[in-house]
């Protein structure tokens, strides 16, 4: 055996398994945080998609309706009937995660505003990785050595 064969084997296994495991656990435990980032920080507060682009403005009839409901009209929030934002879900898989919506009219929303309406911004993803993923990854590494 080579001088660093055990360390190399650990790194190979770690890269292939532990990173995915930490991501899966992070999403499983804290996927609701990613949803909150998208629904509240991006859509409601700023009216932006995952690329940070402003969403297309509302039509005049929608603006009148939103004014009558006391909702903001200076940005597109997609909170009109709450069905879309309430249906957003974050699912964890072995090697990835997916953000989707399961309302009947989601395909029209995605067609109109783009698929990035369901994506976190880089800033929000970085925040999630620092606060939730990296601690899980560190925990996995610590567990390997204890």
Query: What is the distance between the terminal CA atoms of the chain, rounded to a whole angstrom?
Result: 24
pLDDT in tens, the chain (146 residues): 566 787 777 777 776 677 888 889 999 999 999 999 999 999 999 999 999 999 999 899 999 999 998 999 999 999 887 899 999 999 998 878 999 999 999 899 999 999 999 999 999 999 999 999 999 888 877 777 66
Cα torsion angle, 109, 110, 112, 118, sign: positive
Whether this model's pTM surpasses 0.85: no
C-alpha 144/C-alpha 10 separation (Å) is 9
Question: What tokens appear for 76 in the block?
Answer: 């597109």
């Amino acid at each position: 055996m080579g001088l660093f064969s055990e360390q190399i084997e650990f790194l190979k296994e770690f890269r292939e398994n532990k990173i995915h495991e930490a991501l899966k656990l992070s999403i499983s435990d804290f996927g609701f945080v990613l949803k909150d980032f998208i629904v509240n920080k991006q859509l409601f507060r700023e009216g932006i998609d995952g690329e940070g682009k402003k969403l297309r403005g509302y039509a005049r009839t929608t603006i009148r309706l939103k004014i009558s409901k006391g909702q903001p009209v200076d940005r597109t929030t997609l909170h009109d009937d709450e069905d879309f934002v309430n249906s957003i879900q974050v699912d964890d898989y072995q090697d990835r995660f997916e953000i989707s919506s399961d309302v009947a009219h989601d395909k029209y929303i995605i067609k109109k505003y783009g698929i990035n309406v369901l994506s976190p911004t880089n800033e929000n993803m970085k925040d999630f990785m620092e606060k939730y993923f990296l601690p899980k990854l560190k925990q996995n590494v610590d567990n390997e050595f204890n």
